[in-house]
Each structure stands twice: as C-alpha cells, then as structure tokens.
C-alpha cells in the first residue's frame, strides 16, 4: 500500500490508473454534458446533489466537479458567495465613515439638526440654497 501511494506521487499516470481524477461537470455556470455522460450521471442527479448542498441554480457556480470518492466539489461565483465577517466589517467601517462625513460636512455651523418634517412646517431649510443639478 505504501509503495503504491509512493508510486502514485512520483508518476501521475499511475494516479489516474489506481485512484482516478476528479471530473469537471460545470464550468462558468454551464454544464459540461460530455463529462456528465462519461460519469453516467443524469442532469436530474446533478441538480439533486446541488440542491442537497444548498445551491438553487447551476448559474450560481463558477466550477463544480465530481471527486474521486463521489463527492461534489464546487466554487460559487463571486457575486453568489456568502458574506464573510471581513466583508461585513469593511461595509460597517465605510458606513460609519459616511455618517461622520455627513455629520461634519453638511451641517452649517451654529444650527441644530432638525427633523425634515420640522423644516417643511417652518419653511426653513438647513443646508445650502443651491438647486440640485
């Protein structure tokens, strides 16, 4: 067993012979029917396995492959990947920066921050008098 593992590491063709390789079945949201036929797998079976992994649409995938052990391996497209904690923190820091910019840049000196409805009632507008262009 150790010898065969060593030989597979040294010679790539032996790995294909003894173990096999994963087969790409989806590329850029498109099903590779040729490879699917090689695996003797129907579209229904592929869609079933995708749904089991929580993927509602084939178009959401960048790549998907059937591994040697029969498992489904996949990578989602960038716009379909779930939000990470780093992404969330980046968004929150941008929002807080925007809040600070709005708070300090648009409020005239010496005036209080009023409710927009109070401005409508009193006909006093806080900010510049220029028309939006």
Task: Count Cα neighbours of 79 within 13 Å in the Cβ-side half-sphere.
Answer: 4
Asked if 18 and 67 sit in the same domain, the reply is yes
133 has a pLDDT exceeding 60: no
| Domain assignment of residue 68, yes or no | yes
In sequence order, what DSSP letters do the residues of 102-115 get, joined into one string? HHHHSSPTT-----
Q: Does 97 share its domain with 113? A: yes
Instruction: Please count the structural domains in the chain.
Output: 2
Top-confidence residue, 7 or 133: 7
Q: Are residues 97 and 68 in the same domain?
A: no
Considering the domain architecture, whether residues 47 and 10 belong to the same structural domain is answered as yes
Averaged pLDDT of the chain: 81
Say if residue 99 is in the same domain as residue 68.
no
Please, which pLDDT band fits residue 22 given cuts at 50, 70 and 90? confident
- The enclosing domain of 39 has a CATH number of 3.30.240.20
pLDDT higher than 50, residue 109: no
Give the helix, strand, coil percentages of the chain, each rounded to 5: 50, 15, 35
Closest CA to 61 of 29, 36, 32: 29
pLDDT band at 19 (very low <50, low <70, confident <90, very high): confident
Q: Is residue 128 part of a domain?
A: no
CA-angle at 26, arms to 88 and 50, nearest 5°: 65
Are 69 and 107 members of one domain?
A: no
Residue 36 and residue 101 in one domain: no
| pLDDT of residue 129 exceeding 60 | no
Q: Kindly report, residue by residue over 45-78, the tens digit of the pLDDT.
A: 999 999 999 999 999 999 999 998 889 999 999 8
Co-location of 75 and 89 in the same domain? no
How far apart are the C-alpha atoms of 26 and 76, rounded to whole Å?
11
Please write the tens of the pLDDT for every residue from 76-99.
Answer: 998 988 889 999 999 999 998 888
Could you tell me if 42 and 67 lie in one domain?
yes
Q: How far apart are CA 81 and CA 43, in angstroms?
A: 23
The answer as to whether 127 is a domain residue is no
Task: Judge whether 71 lies within some domain.
Answer: yes
The reported pLDDT for the residue numbered 101 is 78
Tell me what pLDDT residue 116 has: 63
Task: Using a pLDDT cut of 90, give the percent of the chain over it.
Answer: 44
Q: Which residues constitute the domain of residue 26? A: 2-79
Do 9 and 49 fall into the same domain?
Answer: yes
3-state secondary structure of 32: coil
């Amino acid at each position: 067993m150790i010898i065969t593992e060593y030989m597979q590491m040294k010679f790539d063709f032996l790995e294909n012979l003894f173990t096999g390789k994963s087969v790409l079945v989806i590329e850029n949201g498109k099903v590779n029917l040729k490879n699917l036929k090689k695996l003797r797998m129907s579209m229904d079976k592929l869609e079933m396995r995708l749904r089991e992994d929580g993927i509602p649409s084939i178009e959401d995938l960048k790549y998907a492959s059937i591994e040697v052990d029969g498992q489904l391996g996949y990578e989602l497209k960038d716009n379909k990947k779930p939000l990470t904690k780093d992404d969330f923190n980046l968004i929150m820091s941008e929002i807080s920066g925007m809040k600070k910019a709005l708070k300090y840049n648009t409020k005239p000196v010496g005036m209080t921050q009023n409710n927009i409805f109070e401005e409508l009632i009193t006909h006093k507008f806080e900010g510049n008098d220029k028309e939006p262009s």
